[in-house]
């Protein structure tokens, strides 16, 4: 693909692609997939998607995964030597020294990316990923695009509809982003989404005496705050490194992506942490940050920041800190952490190239937008907003918890989406599905939003 679409015959970059051929005799074409992030590897995601997909879908489509520019096996970013330091910084600073430490860690991370990848960084924004996807569609021989995008992948799909509306066959945008919001509003609304998810987890704790032994004798909310304060003061121990306040919040957030399916795992981890053993929470953090068993990292963190910082401008350090009281008052647990997640973009070494904010996809075939009422990373209101922004958007609602809805063993959702992808049958506007799905085979890159991110800014993924 062209590095710079303004100079298509100039320097080229590589996009890694993997295809799982259709198994039946009535092949429709290719179905492209993206797991979100930004920074999630489609190729790593392919096996989980195939495992969860219906036989009918696999018979009719080649499932095609790709690593977006800068990600995974595509021409990659590699500037994460300070990720461990970044994750260990207190994301909810309560002193000048802690604010300075968070800012310094963010600047060190951003400076490394600028020093190593000055040529690549300006060209990693979402509109270029959508352009790559159209090039891929053509290379696969498909007249029109069929696509499923989760979390941040909905931004790619919406940009595609805006740039190439006549090339749309069917787009499923699950766990949608509201393209009209700026970085501050996205971060604050995501913080509120995780606050709500944590509150739902506390209610689950209260529903049965044996659900949350770590909160025995007090309310789960009070027990959680006490444990958080204890780890902030004295990090919990693990086999090879401490679990500090940053790793603690990452470790709490990761299972909340799975809704009720993650509650028991989170409760067990908090029980261990309350006894001074932070190893389970740290394992959740490592998975969230794509840390390998040997201590190395994948490149989801730098890719996540590279896209977010290009797509949405963030304030400078003074502007971010000026929002601290507002964020902390609005979202007591996660507010400051999502705010300090913007510090990397305050130091990002290339100029912002704002994503398109008025995405209508005028002239596109019907586009299916899927929202989950209890989604912590991409709040349900964002799905309502995107469905209304897209000229042909149709909203499908899952009344449940967790991040995204498709392939979570909710027959009403899966059947409706499969019928849309295979037959072009659009669900009736206002269709709502309820019920608790089984554990998903997919661990989606979440949210980050600023997007949802798993893959932070420094704390929460903005784009998920």
- Residues annotated as catalytic (active site), given as ranges: 151, 375, 403
Nearest CA among 268, 288, 294 for reference residue 280: 268
- Which structure tokens are listed for 340? 């300090």
- Which structure tokens are listed for 267? 């409760």
Please tell me the distance from the alpha carbon of residue 30 to that of residue 51, in angstroms, as a whole number: 17
Pairing verdict, β 61-66 and 432-434: unpaired
Pairing verdict, β 61-66 and 17-20: antiparallel
List of residues 6+ apart from 342 with CB closer than 8 A: 183, 184, 187, 314, 315, 320, 450, 457
Please tell me the distance from the alpha carbon of residue 49 to that of residue 348, in angstroms, as a whole number: 33
Please tell me the distance from the alpha carbon of residue 49 to that of residue 42, in angstroms, as a whole number: 10
- Which structure tokens are listed for 265? 């795992």
Q: In 156-298, which ranges are E strands?
A: 168-174
Task: Please answer whether residues 463 and 155 qualify as being in contact, where contact means their C-beta atoms are separated by less than 8 angstroms.
Answer: yes
Nearest CA among 195, 179, 289 for reference residue 241: 289
Please tell me the distance from the alpha carbon of residue 392 to that of residue 368, in angstroms, as a whole number: 8
Number of H helices, E strands in the chain: 18, 8
The CA–CA distances, whole Å, from 51 to 9, 23, 54, 439 equal: 39, 14, 8, 13
Q: Phi first, then psi: what are they for 368, rounded to 5°?
A: -95, 115
List of residues 6+ apart from 257 with CB closer than 8 A: 376, 377, 402, 403, 443, 444, 446, 447, 454
Please tell me the distance from the alpha carbon of residue 268 to that of residue 212, in angstroms, as a whole number: 8
Please tell me the distance from the alpha carbon of residue 122 to that of residue 423, in angstroms, as a whole number: 39
């Amino acid at each position: 693909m062209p590095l710079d679409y303004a100079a298509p015959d100039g320097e080229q970059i590589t996009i890694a692609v993997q295809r799982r051929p259709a198994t039946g005799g009535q092949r429709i074409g290719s179905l492209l997939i993206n797991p979100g992030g930004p920074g999630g590897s489609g190729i790593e995601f392919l096996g989980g998607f195939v495992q969860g997909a219906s036989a009918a879908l696999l018979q009719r489509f080649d499932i095609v995964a790709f690593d977006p520019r800068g990600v995974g096996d595509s021409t990659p970013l590699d500037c994460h030597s300070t990720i461990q330091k970044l994750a260990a910084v207190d994301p909810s600073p309560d002193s000048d020294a802690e604010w300075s430490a968070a800012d310094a860690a963010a600047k060190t991370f951003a400076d490394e990316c600028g020093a190593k990848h000055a040529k690549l960084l300006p060209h990693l924004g979402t509109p270029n990923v959508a352009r790559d996807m159209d090039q891929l569609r053509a290379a696969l021989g498909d007249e029109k695009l069929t696509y499923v995008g989760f979390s941040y992948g909905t931004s790619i799909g919406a940009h595609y509809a805006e740039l190439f509306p006549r090339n749309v066959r069917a787009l499923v945008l699950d766990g949608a982003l509201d393209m009209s919001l700026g970085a501050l509003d996205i971060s604050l609304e995501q913080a509120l989404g995780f606050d709500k998810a944590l509150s739902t987890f506390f209610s689950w704790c209260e529903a049965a005496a044996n659900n949350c032994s770590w909160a025995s004798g007090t309310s789960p909310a009070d027990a959680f705050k006490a444990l958080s304060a204890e780890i902030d003061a004295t990090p919990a121990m693990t086999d090879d490194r401490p679990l500090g306040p940053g790793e603690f919040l990452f470790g709490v957030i990761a299972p909340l992506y799975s809704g009720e399916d993650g509650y028991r795992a989170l409760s067990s981890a908090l029980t261990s942490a309350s006894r001074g053993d932070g190893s389970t929470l740290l394992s959740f953090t490592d998975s969230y940050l794509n840390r390998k068993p040997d201590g190395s990292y994948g490149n989801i963190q730098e890719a996540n920041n590279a896209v977010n910082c290009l797509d949405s401008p963030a304030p400078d350090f003074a502007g971010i800190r000026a929002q601290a009281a507002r964020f902390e008052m609005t979202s007591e647990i996660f507010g400051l952490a999502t705010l300090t997640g913007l510090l990397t973009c305050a130091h990002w070494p290339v100029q912002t190239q704002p994503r398109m904010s008025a995405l209508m996809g005028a002239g596109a075939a019907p586009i299916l937008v899927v929202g989950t009422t209890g989604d912590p990373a991409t709040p349900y209101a964002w799905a309502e907003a995107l469905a209304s922004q897209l000229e042909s958007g149709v909203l499908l609602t899952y009344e449940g918890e967790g991040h995204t809805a498709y392939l979570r063993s909710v027959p009403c959702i899966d059947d409706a989406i499969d019928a849309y992808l295979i037959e072009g049958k659009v669900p009736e506007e206002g269709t709502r599905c309820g019920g608790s799905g089984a554990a998903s085979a997919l661990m989606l890159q979440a949210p980050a939003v600023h997007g949802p991110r798993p893959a932070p800014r420094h704390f929460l993924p903005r784009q998920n």
